């Protein structure tokens, strides 16, 4: 039952090095892409990151609370175009939790890593994320969701 998924989900910050299956990644992405959005404007952009080296570099986008990205084997950068929709934060948040709940249903651990309003020194975390991942500078970045096989 869906409530069992809701009850069992906990943020996971330590993952094994066993990668996710392609089918698992596809299902997590589908859950995010099927998230409802205001006026169905499709302002949210989900960027899957399978390159573990890039995931580790993304962990440096802020000074603390990026532990999940230090062992994650898969991550999704959750971004949005603020020119397309004024409630992009709501839309991006819904997509984030949809992916986390789908991951839990698959027995996969996840953790939301906040990017919006965070920084590393004087540099906004989202600027670091956009530079490392080569994203359009006009996008806003809400979060990076870390995924992997649960170690604890």
Ligand X SMILES: Cc1cc2nc3c(=O)[nH]c(=O)nc-3n(C[C@H](O)[C@H](O)[C@H](O)COP(=O)(O)O)c2cc1C
Q: Which residues are near ligand X by CB under 6 A?
A: 10-11, 13, 65, 67-68, 111-114
Residue indicated by tokens 């994203």? 135
Report the residue number, 26 or 70, with the smaller CB distance to ligand X: 70
- Shortest Cβ 64–ligand X spacing (Å): 8
Looking at beta carbons only, is 10 or 50 nearer to ligand X?
Answer: 10
- Minimum distance between the CB of residue 12 and ligand X, rounded to whole angstroms? 8
Residue 38 vs 67, nearer CB to ligand X? 67
| Cα 56-61-62 angle, rounded to 5 deg | 120
Torsion sign across C-alpha atoms 132, 134, 136, 140: negative
Q: Which is nearest to 108 in space by CA: 33, 25, 6?
A: 25
CB of 118 to ligand X, least distance (A): 7
Q: Which is nearer to ligand X, 37 or 100 (CB)?
A: 100
CB of 146 to ligand X, least distance (A): 8
Helices (DSSP H) in the chain: which residue ranges?
Answer: 2-8, 22-33, 52-58, 68-71, 88-105, 125-133
Rounded to the nearest 5 percent, the helix, strand and coil shares of the chain are 40, 25, 35
């Amino acid at each position: 039952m869906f409530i069992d998924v809701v009850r069992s989900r906990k943020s996971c910050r330590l993952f094994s090095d066993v990668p996710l299956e392609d089918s698992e990644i596809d299902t997590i992405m589908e859950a995010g892409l099927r998230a409802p959005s205001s006026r169905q404007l499709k302002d949210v952009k989900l960027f899957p990151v399978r390159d573990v080296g890039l995931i580790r570099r993304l962990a440096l986008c802020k000074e603390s609370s990026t532990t999940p990205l230090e062992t994650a084997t898969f991550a999704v950068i959750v971004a949005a175009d603020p020119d397309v929709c004024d409630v992009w934060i709501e839309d991006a948040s819904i997509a984030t939790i949809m992916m986390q709940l789908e991951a839990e249903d698959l027995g996969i651990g996840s953790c939301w890593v906040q990017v919006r309003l965070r920084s590393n020194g004087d540099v906004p975390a989202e600027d670091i994320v956009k530079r490392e991942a080569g994203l359009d500078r006009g996008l806003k970045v809400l979060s990076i969701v870390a995924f992997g096989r649960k170690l604890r």
